[in-house]
Every structure is written in structure tokens, then in C-alpha cells.
Amino acid sequence: MAQGQGGAEHKRIPLVVMPENRDFTTSKDARLVNCYMESGSQKGELHIYKRPGVTRELELSEGVYSTLQPPGGAATALGAYNWLGDIYSVYSSGGVGTLYKNASSVGTVSATGGQYSFSQSLASSGSFIGTTTGPQIVLQCTNALYSYDGTTLITAATSGAVVTDGSLVIGAWYQVATVGTSTFPGNNTVGTIFKATTNSYGGNGTVALSNCPTTMVPGLAYLDQTTYVLDPSAGIWGSYYNCPQFIVGGQGGSLGSNFLTAQIEPDPGVAIAKQLVYVIVFKQWSTEVFYDAGNASGSPLGAVQGAKVNYGCIAASSIQDIDGTLLWLGSNRNSNTQVLMLENVSAQVVSTNAIDKLIDNFDADDTIYSLSFKEGGHKFYLITDVQANLTLVYDITEKIWCQWTDVNGNYLPFVSTTYDNEGDRVWQHATDGYFYAVSSANWNDQGSIITSDIYTPNYDGGVNSRKVMGIMYFTADRVVGSTLQVRHSDDDYVTWSRFRNVNLGSKRPYLDKCGTFYRRAFHLRHACNTPFRISAIEPVMDVGT
């Protein structure tokens, strides 16, 4: 074949790419799988790394490593949270829900209210709280709310009915409704909140139970000593100061006064969260923002005018907070499903057209998991749809999307993230009961090799002529025992050549005799128990006339 003048050309083929799927599948076009990108120190320098791996060995104390699993073994995970240096988790097994502190049972909780949300409350005492309360962890699902002070697990009552002294439940919280002859802890003044330490205080007064809603949507928002929950009608229910068990109180007001409805739009409530100093109410088609207005009566919250977001949330379990930034899976009446990011009370769409195609079939009835974590200077948001068998990852730092899988090529089966006593990030597995430490220092998943795949776009060198590729050089970290597998497709990702091996332990890794083509896509695979970082592939080509 006649060749062009000027000798062989050296051109770099791009490796760092956003997903370019042309349809609703991941079977074609450019993408990164089990990788992430990082900008180098030089302008335009980009590197691709293998994703972090996981191990069951957690550093539960300085230099002491162990596994963490409920005594009953495998169970359905419902959430986890680190409070005062201990990992608290909820698991369901045999229809029974249990709250664990590390691997020890704290008590029984609901197993039917879905994934749990967690928060915490400070210690407090005051004229309207008859008993001093210590710091508490707060956990909530759609049909129950609990708090735990390190000693007693308390269930928030779901009735505002008045009961007589003598019928009190030890450990429950009450409000003095009518004055009697008994001396409740602190005082016997109407409106006083107290925690019962006995069934009766020997008087004839009456007390009112907390009025926690019987049905809630997921989420807890703690702001200025008040814990807020949301009901499906977008009603925001607040607690007394640092008394999260006693819902619907208001600053010393009557039972039921701390209530407000998010009603700019009439759509139902989906979730509640906190960003910076704001309470965020996610609804089906819209999102509303509230701040502590310091109202003397009723709810202390007031709407932030002009901060309404014209996107709602299709799955409460998709909401994640990382460094004060919220990300979630959202939609409205005029758009398909997209990923939104709320930063400084300003929302923007961060999913691309290609990602929108992949998540368009994500449904509110699907099982959705999400995680957020920081690793090596990166901030990652993971969104998983179990039915679609797909985990997508957004690198907030680099603004790049990719796909991560388990070692079998399926979705990542993790439902919640927290940290251990040493501050290292750990993930809660959906079904096996274990927690896993996640780190870039792990090159495998619990001993199984992670397969990293890079699919490049179709490459034609900018000319519609036949190219002869004599050799390809690979710019990657030199690691003894590390092998890169390379193959190509000349027919638009339909068929592929056999894999050829490149020794990344050599001084200058390369492949020769790479054939001829008009347009070619490359598939690079790393499946070794070694670190992996690659920057570019540089082919040496002759272009035909």
C-alpha cells in the first residue's frame, strides 16, 4: 500500500474518557470500569488508577485488626453510623431488626421500615426538661424512631394521647399535661418534659406522650438542638431541644406546635436532610429549603425565599452528604431521571447525557443503594440500582463518571458507609453481615482480583485513510509482575481481537505488529494483584494515501 510522506506519526490515543454509551446499555463505546482518573502535576497530565479495594480486616483499635459481623452471621444490612468511636449498625434477620454496637446487640428495632437514617443529639437540660439528657444517637426508618444514650434504647411514642400517672412506661418521655399532687422530676409544671424512671410518681396528674408520626419518609435533620422528621404529606415535625424522642413540641409550647408543611408545591414528601445550616425537604417533583428563623411559637423553621429547586427525588436512599454537598437521584415533571448536586443551596445537574440514558430506567420501586466517601484527595458518589445490576460512580473532584463492579462483574453490594476507630472508611455489605475497609492500598477485594477495564473511543487519527500501526508504547507505572492485556475492535465494538500481554515491569512497555485499520477502539485490561496507574498509549503509525 502506498504510504504518506514524512515517515511514521506519533499520536497519543486518549484514555481518560467520560462514558459515551450510545444507548441504554454499557455494551458499547468508551468507558472506564473499576478505575478513576486523577490530574497530574503538569498541565494536561492525566492518570488512570485502579479503584480502591476492600478487606474485612478493620483496625478496630490502634494496631489491632479484626473482622466485624453480627453474632448471627449473614444478615440484611439496614445502615451504619459511627457514634463516639463505636460502629452502630442495624441488621434484619428472620424478620427481626437489631441495633448493634460494634458486634454486640443493643436492642430490637423495626425490620419493616427499610433503610435507617442516623443522626445524633447533644446533652441538654433546661426548665422545660425535667431530667438532664446526655448525648444520644438517633436512628429512624419509615415506621419508627429511636434514640440510644449508651444505656437505654428508647422508642419515640406515636401517640399524643393523655395518660394518667401510674400508667407510665419506664424509659419513655412524657410531658406534664395537668397539674396533680405528684412531683415529677424537676417540677410539676404543665409543659415540663421528663423521662420516666418509675411507673408512677404517686399523684393524680396526667401526662402526654410524644406524638411521633406513625408514618415517615427517610431522613433526619438536626439543626440548632432540634431533630426534624418528615411525613409523606410533606409535614415537618420537630422535637424539643436535644430531646429527639419527644417529637412535636416547640419551644415550650403545647404538644403539636412544632409543625410546618413544605407547601410551595403540592407534591408529597420523599426525604429530609440537612445541608450546612439548612433543612432540605425533598419532594416528588421539587425540593424546598428551610432555615432556623427563631420563631417564638410553632416551628422555628422558615422557608428560604428563592431557594426552591425544580427537581424532586425519586429515591431517598440515593441521597448522600459529602463535605456539606448533597447528591441525589432526581427528576421533575418535565425531565428524565438525573443526578443532582446541591452546593451552597444551589442545585446543578451533574449527570451527562450518557449517564442519563443509563439511569433513565432507575425506578423508585427499585432497590437503590448509594455511598459517598473520600479517598486520596477524591470525593466519590456511588449510586447502585440492584435491578439494573449497575453501580455508577461520580468523582466530584475530577467531574468524571465511571462504572465500578464487584469481582464477578456485578454491581457493588454495599449499602452504607461509616468509619472505624482510626478514622478509616468502612462499607457495610448488603447481605453477608461484614464491614469492609476500603482503601487504594488494597489492590484486591478480600483476596479476589479486581479487573480494571479501559475502553477507548473509536480512533481514526483524524484522517479517513488506512493506517498501519507498527508499534504501541504504554506510559504506565513500572511494576514487576504487572501485566496489561490489550485487544482491539475495528468494527465499532462488535468483535474483538484476542488479548495480547504487555509486561508493565519492563523499562518501556510496548506491543509491535499491531496491524492496519481505518477506525479502531482499544480495550485495556488490568487483572493483577498489583497497583496500576497508566497515563497514555502512543502508537507509531504510517498513514496510507
Q: What is the DSSP string of 109-146?
A: E-SSS-S-EEEEE--EEETTEEEEE--EEEEEETTEEE
How far from the centroid of its chain's Cα atoms is residue 59's Cα?
22
| Rounded Cα–Cα distance for residues 253 and 532 (Å) | 61
Q: What is the pLDDT of residue 5?
A: 43
pLDDT over 70 at 107, yes or no: yes
Residue 31 lies in a domain: yes
Residue 80 lies inside a defined structural domain of this protein: no
Higher-scoring residue by pLDDT: 211, 229: 229
Q: What is the mean pLDDT of the chain?
A: 88
Which of 178-192, 276-290, 351-365, 421-435 has the lowest average pLDDT? 178-192
**What is the residue type of 170?**
I
**So what's the pLDDT on residue 405?**
98
Q: What is the pLDDT of residue 363?
A: 83
Residue 364 lies in a domain: no
Distance between first and last Cα of the chain: 8
Could you tell me if 207 and 142 are in contact, meaning their C-beta atoms sit under 8 angstroms apart? Answer: no
| Average pLDDT, integer, range 63-74 | 84
Higher pLDDT among residues 122 and 322, named by residue: 322
Among 456, 457, 455, 458, smallest CA distance to 519 is for 458
pLDDT (0 to 100) of residue 476: 95
Nearest to 145 by CA among 283, 13, 239, 22: 239
Give the Cα separation of 521 and 30 in Å (integer): 8
> Which residues lie below 8 Å from residue 331, measured CB to CB, with a gap of 6+?
285, 311, 312, 314, 337, 338
The answer to whether 206 touches 191, Cβ cutoff 8 Å, is: no
Q: What is the mean pLDDT of residues 516-537?
A: 95
In-domain check, residue 210: no
> How far is Cα 391 from Cα 370, in angstroms, rounded to an integer?
9
pLDDT (average), residues 206-222:
87
- Give residue 411's pLDDT: 97
User: Is pLDDT above 80 for 320?
Assistant: yes
DSSP-derived 3-state class of residue 317 = helix
Reading the block at residue 51, the C-alpha cell is: 479503584
pLDDT of 168 higher than 70: yes
What was the pLDDT predicted at 127?
A: 41
pLDDT digits (tens, 9 = 90+) for 367-391: 999 999 999 899 999 999 999 999 9
Query: What is the Cα–Cα distance from 523 to 14, expressed in whole angstroms?
Result: 12
pLDDT at 2: 44
Cα 173 to chain center, whole Å? Answer: 33
In a domain, 295, yes or no: no
What total number of domains does the chain contain? 1
Instruction: Tell me the pLDDT tens digit for each residue of 14-53.
Output: 787 888 989 888 888 999 999 999 988 887 789 999 999 9
Distances (CA, A) of 169 to 109, 125, 166: 17, 21, 9
Pairing of strands 153-155, 173-178: unpaired
Could you tell me the CATH number of the domain that includes residue 506? 2.60.120.260
SS (H, E, C) 415-429: EEEEECCCCCEEEEE
Is 427 part of a structural domain of the chain?
no
Contacts of 363 (CB under 8 A, 6+ apart): 314, 387
CA distance readout (Å), 181 to 25, 165, 174, 175, 186: 72, 10, 17, 15, 14
> Do 24 and 357 form a contact (C-beta atoms < 8 A)?
yes
Q: Which residues pair with 453 in a beta bridge?
A: 33, 525
| The amino acid at 516 | T
Per the document, the length of the chain is 545
Residue 76: all three cell numbers together:
440484611
Q: Mean pLDDT throughout 325-353?
A: 94
What 3-state DSSP class applies to 22? coil
pLDDT reported for residue 273: 98
- C-alpha atoms less than 13 angstroms from C-alpha of 154 in its C-beta half-sphere: 30
Q: In the chain, what are the helix, strand and coil shares in percent, each to the nearest 5? A: 0, 50, 50
Residue 76, domain member (yes or no) = no
- Report the alpha-carbon distance of residue 134 to residue 152 in Å, rounded: 11
Distance from C-alpha of 93 to C-alpha of 105, rounded to nearest angstrom: 13
Q: Which of 470, 474, 488 is nearest to 540 (CA)?
A: 470
The domain in which residue 459 lies consists of 9-52+452-543
Q: Is pLDDT at 131 greater than 70 in this prediction?
A: no
| pLDDT of 421 | 81
Q: Is the dihedral of CA 343, 345, 346, 349 positive or negative?
A: positive
What does the alpha-carbon distance between residue 340 and residue 290 come to, in Å, rounded to a whole number?
19
Does any domain span residue 518?
A: yes
